[in-house]
Amino acid sequence: MPIIQFQNVSKFYEKKGAVLDFNLKVEKGERVVILGHSGCGKTTVLRLLAGFVPPDRGKILIDNEVVSIDGKILKEPEERNIGMVFQDLALWPHMTVRQNLEFGLKARGIKKEEREKRIKQILKLTQIEEFENKKPSKLSGGQQQRVALARALVLHPKILLMDEPLSSLDFELNIRLRREILKLQKEIGFTLLYVTHNREEAFDIASRIIIMRNGKILKEGSPEEAKIYFEQILKTVKI
Ligand SMILES: Nc1ncnc2c1ncn2[C@@H]1O[C@H](COP(=O)(O)OP(=O)(O)O)[C@@H](O)[C@H]1O
Ligand SMILES: [Mg+2]
């Protein structure tokens, strides 16, 4: 049974389709990367799944339950058990790392003992134990990235959405964090939906790649199939 399903989903902004007749099934534990140029609808797909916007047409299911349908949100974002990490990390600047992690746990009414256990575990997994009592502004870009990851994962989401999370990092750090995301996904086992316009990043992270263009799926397949597809496109372009 797929954990995520989009069935004939369309989303319009002022009559222009951002996502058009979009169909996607994701199995539990997959790492699906949505790859495409700026403006092709990648972020909109994530926002639809998170429940921030309703689809104008079509159906979205999580764990076989309809969560959004034909202009309506049936299940609110906070009930969807989805974690999110975006390019601008939106860490709370006035809170320490620990407070950033604890906030969502408290909001969900999780008891002190369980909060402590989870925070300790995730600080260790994301290798930020030593920054526990620091404010985000005192940390480097890569460290802040790990805090954003930890803050999402401490809530034990079954699905993690990442929207261009590494785009602002330099090349070496970008590659290192790819490795860390893969390791965490293996250890924790969440289903990953990852958005990027960077092919190398997609090849590295994905178990399956969805290539999007103009709100639609142009091609989908394994990273190897995606590579062959791009190589063939290059061959057809005559210079
Ligand atoms: N809130 C919005 N209001 C109006 N147009 C939007 C809004 N969000 C996205 N769009 C438009 O929808 C299309 C897809 O956007 P988006 O999903 O952000 O693409 P991507 O993430 O691939 O860059 C773009 O043409 C964008 O301008
Ligand atoms: Mg985007």
pLDDT at 77: 93
pLDDT in tens, 52-74: 999 999 999 999 999 999 999 99
- φ, ψ of residue 226 to 5 degrees: the values are -65, -40
| CA 152 to ligand 2 centroid distance, Å | 19
Say which ligand is closest to the CA of 10. 1
Per-residue confidence band for 167, with pLDDT thresholds at 50, 70 and 90: confident
Say which ligand is closest to the CA of 87. 2
Report angle CA 219, 221, 223 to the nearest 5 degrees. Answer: 115
Please indicate whether residue 44, judged by its CB atom, sits closer than 6 Å to ligand 1: yes
Question: Which residue, judged by its Cα, is nearest atom 20 of ligand 1?
Answer: 39
Nearest CA-CA partner of 211 in 61, 45, 55, 48: 45
Please indicate whether residue 40, judged by its CB atom, sits closer than 6 Å to ligand 1: yes
pLDDT in tens, 182-215: 998 998 899 999 999 999 999 999 999 999 999 9
pTM: 0.92
Domains of the chain (ranges; CATH) run 30-52+79-236 (3.40.50.300)
pLDDT at 11: 98
pLDDT at 176: 86
Mutation test residue for ligand 1: of 10, 13, 37, 216, the one with most atoms within 8 Å of CB:
13
pLDDT at 238: 61
Per-residue confidence band for 237, with pLDDT thresholds at 50, 70 and 90: low
Please indicate whether residue 18, judged by its CB atom, sits closer than 6 Å to ligand 1: yes
Please indicate whether residue 39, judged by its CB atom, sits closer than 6 Å to ligand 1: yes
| CA 45 to ligand 2 centroid distance, Å | 9
Say which ligand is closest to the CA of 86. 2
The CA distance from 195 to 198, in Å, is 9
Please indicate whether residue 42, judged by its CB atom, sits closer than 6 Å to ligand 1: yes
Maximal CA-CA distance, the chain:
64
Question: Which residue, judged by its Cα, is nearest atom 5 of ligand 1?
Answer: 13
Q: Are 210 and 32 in contact (CB under 8 A)?
A: yes
CB-based burial label for 72 (10 Å; 0-12, 13-18, 19+) = exposed
Say which ligand is closest to the CA of 37. 1
Please indicate whether residue 48, judged by its CB atom, sits closer than 6 Å to ligand 1: no
* Residue 194 per-residue DSSP state: E
The CA distance from 145 to 73, in Å, is 30
**C-alpha distance from residue 38 to each of 42, 47, 77, 131, 196 (Å):** 8, 15, 25, 34, 9
Please indicate whether residue 41, judged by its CB atom, sits closer than 6 Å to ligand 1: yes
pLDDT in tens, 112-143: 999 999 999 999 888 899 999 999 999 988 89
